Amino acid sequence: MNFKEKNDLSPLQIDPDRMKAIFDGINAFGRNETTGGFNRTGFSNADWEARRWLAGLMEREGLGVSWDAAGNLFGRLGKADAPCIMAGSHTDTVPEGGAFDGALGVAVALEAALSIRDAGLTLTHPIEVVNTVEEEGRFGGMLGSQAISGQVDPDWFESACDSDGWQLWDAMRARGLDPARIGSAARQPGSVKAFLELHVEQGPVLERAGIAVGIADCVSGVTNLQITLTGSANHSGTTPMAFRADAFAGLAQAAAAIPELIAASGTDQSRMTIGKVELQPNFPHTIPGSAEFSVIIRDTDASVMKALEAGFLSILQDTARRHGLRLAVAETSRLAPVALDAGIAALLAEEAGRQGMALTMPSGAGHDAQTMQALCPSGLIFVASRGGVSHAPEEWTDWNAACAGASVMLATLVRLASATS
C-alpha cells in the first residue's frame, strides 16, 4: 500500500471521555459485583446483551451496522461495497475475567472511527469496526476471526463443545444464527485491505520498561501436549522407596528439568507450562499410580518449539525409565507462530515513536490479529498491563496508556485508509 505522510492530514485527536463511555458501556454487562470479575463468555446472555448494546450505539452514531453468520458485529464508516480497513477486537471474556481484555480494543477502534467521522476526513477506504465473536475459546477456537478469514476447521466446528458439554452449534442457534451458513462469513481476499487491533499486553514487559505502548511484530505458536505417566499405586507405608513406580516422582523430575531445557534449546521467548495435573488415586496414603498432565510449549520460532518438544520427550523417556513408568504422549493442538505484517508493524512503530514510545515485541498470547493475518496485512498494538495481570478481576490498564494506544491506532488507521492503493 502507498501510505500518506502524516503531514498531509489534519490534526486528529481521540476523545478520552467518549472512549471511556463506550468502554464502560460494554462493561456494564456481565460484572460480578462480589468479585469484580466479568463473565461474558462467548454466546452467553451477558455477552450477547453487551454486543446488542454496542450494535445500538453504532447505529445511533450513524455507522452501517451488520452481523455475519458467525455472529461477528460490524460498524462501517464509508461506502458499503469498497475494500475496507478493519479495526477491532472482542468483547467476550474468560470466566471471572478482567475489564480490559478485548473490550478496550473495541472501544478504541470505535472511538477512532468516530473521531475520523467527526473530523470530516475523506478517506480512500471505508473503516469497518469489528467486534469479533467468541475469541476467548469457550468452544476451543477463535471463531469470529477464523470465520472472517475463512479458516474455520469443519471437523472442529461441527463437534466443538464447551467444558460443560454445550455444543457450539446449539449456542449459535440460541442467538438466531445458522451454523450451516458459517462459510458466508468469510471475507473475500482483497475486500479487507488491512486489520488493526489494540489489546492489553497481558504481560509485564511494557510496565517494566516504563513504556505505555508497544507494537507486536509476531505471535508465539502453541503446542499443547497431554502426557500420561503410569506406574503402580501402592501403600505409602509398606512399599520401600526403591520398589516404587511413583508417577508423581516422574512428573516432578520432568517438570524440574524444564528451566535447563529452555536454557539449552530455547530462547528468551520460550515458555513451557505444566498447568493441569491429575494424579490417581490422589490419596495421601497411596503412591500415585498415574499422573496425567498438560504441557504447553510456546515460542515465536517453529524450529525452537520443535527442539523444546523433542527435548522434553527425551527427558520424559529418561524419567519413565528411571522410575519404572509407562509413558503416553498425545498432541491436543498445535498452532504455528505467526509473523504479523512487517509494513504495518513499521507504520505502527513510527506512529508510536512520534509519541516517544516505541517498543517492538512479540506477543506471548493469541489474538484475532494473528488469525486475520491469513486474510490481510495485520497489526497489533499493545498497551501496558499493571503488574502484567490478565484474565483476572485485577486486570488494569492506566487510562492514559489506553489513550496513548488509541492515538497510535487513530493515526495509523487514517494513514492506512488514506493509502492510494
Binding site for Zn ion (CB under 5 A): 101-102
Nearer to Zn ion, 71 or 102 (CB): 102
Tell me the closest approach of the beta carbon of residue 99 to Zn ion, in angstroms.
Answer: 12
Tell me the closest approach of the beta carbon of residue 67 to Zn ion, in angstroms.
Answer: 20
Tell me the closest approach of the beta carbon of residue 261 to Zn ion, in angstroms.
Answer: 29
Nearer to Zn ion, 101 or 341 (CB): 101
In our burial notation (b when 16+ CB lie closer than 10 A, e otherwise), range 27-61 reads bebbbeeeeebbbbbbbbebbbebbeebbebbeeb
99 to each of 33, 138, 388, how far by Cα in Å?
A: 13, 18, 14
Tell me the closest approach of the beta carbon of residue 59 to Zn ion, in angstroms.
Answer: 25
Which of 191, 303, 286 minimizes the C-alpha distance to 247? 286
Per DSSP, 206 falls in state H
Nearer to Zn ion, 227 or 369 (CB): 369
d(CA 110, CA 196): 12
Nearer to Zn ion, 101 or 134 (CB): 101
Nearer to Zn ion, 93 or 253 (CB): 93
69 to each of 45, 73, 109, 163, 172, how far by Cα in Å?
A: 18, 10, 22, 24, 9
391 to each of 92, 93, 396, how far by Cα in Å?
A: 11, 8, 10
Tell me the closest approach of the beta carbon of residue 148 to Zn ion, in angstroms.
Answer: 16
Tell me the closest approach of the beta carbon of residue 101 to Zn ion, in angstroms.
Answer: 4
Per DSSP, 15 falls in state -
d(CA 44, CA 91): 12
Cell numbers of 143, please? 471463531
Nearer to Zn ion, 22 or 417 (CB): 22
Q: Is the distance from CB of 196 to CB of 409 less than 8 angstroms?
A: yes
d(CA 121, CA 112): 12
Judged by phi (left if over 0) then psi (alpha if -120 to 50, else beta), residue 38 lies in: beta
Nearer to Zn ion, 40 or 76 (CB): 40
Tell me the closest approach of the beta carbon of residue 90 to Zn ion, in angstroms.
Answer: 6
